[in-house]
Amino acid sequence: MSAWHTALAQLFLEHRARLERLVRRRTGDGDRAADLVQESFLRLLAAGGTGSTPGDTRLLYAVTRNAAIDQQRSARRRAAAMQALAPEQLRSEVGAADGGFDARAALTALEAALRELPDRTREVFLLRRVDGLPHAEIAARLGMPVSTVEKHLLRAIRHCQSRLADHLDPS
């Protein structure tokens, strides 16, 4: 293991818990906090060290703080998008007795289908479909190849289609 990897491992041991508390306070999501801190360490590893422990520590805290801010912004955009959709898309012009589908039931089924997805797949889907991020940006943000982003999207779309089949069937 190189000196940089050893130093990064030491930073992880010393600062992980404190960074997770910082992210948890900012985002309110303990599970996501651990993921964001790990992603921050991976970003720092990919970037390489500054050559000084204080510099690396400052960089680590800045990367983690920025990741938490990005997470908050994404969550706010998703919430705003869901709120913006509700009034227009929850109203059904055709009653259920007339053969139209119940938009509320479809939205409920979609929310349930999204909750069933693995966390990473759901995150990729929401970043693409709600936040409108391009595949390359999602890949860079999550530290994965573009092909993996595409696989997650395909998996999410297929899953949602299968769960919403009854609501989408025109017959």
Say if residue 67 is in the same domain as residue 95: no
Check residue 94 and give its pLDDT.
Answer: 47
Say if residue 64 is in the same domain as residue 103: no
What mean pLDDT value characterizes the chain? 79
Q: How many helices (H) and strands (E) does the chain have?
A: 8, 0
Check residue 120 and give its pLDDT.
Answer: 92
Is 31 part of any domain? yes
CA distances for 65 relative to 43, 56, 129, 167, angstroms: 13, 14, 25, 41
Q: What total of structural domains would you count in the chain?
A: 2
Q: Which of 13, 37, 71 is the last residue of a domain?
A: 71
Contact assessment for residue 37 and residue 16, using Cβ atoms and an 8 Å cutoff: yes
Q: What is the pLDDT of residues 110-166, one digit of tens each?
A: 888 888 999 999 999 989 888 888 888 898 889 888 889 989 988 998 888 888 877
pLDDT score of 18 more than 90: yes
The pTM assigned to this predicted structure is 0.49
Is 77 part of any domain? no
Neighbours of 150 (CB within 10 A): 15
Is 7 part of any domain? yes
Say if residue 118 is in the same domain as residue 146: yes
Structural domain span for residue 144: 91-168
Reduced to 3 states, what is the DSSP secondary structure of residue 75?
helix
Angstrom distance (rounded) from CA 32 to CA 51: 29
Say if residue 141 is in the same domain as residue 96: yes
Say if residue 136 is in the same domain as residue 164: yes
Say if residue 54 is in the same domain as residue 106: no
Cα-based torsion angle of the residue sequence 109, 114, 116, 121 in order, rounded to the nearest 10 degrees: 160
Q: pLDDT band for position 35 (50/70/90)?
A: confident
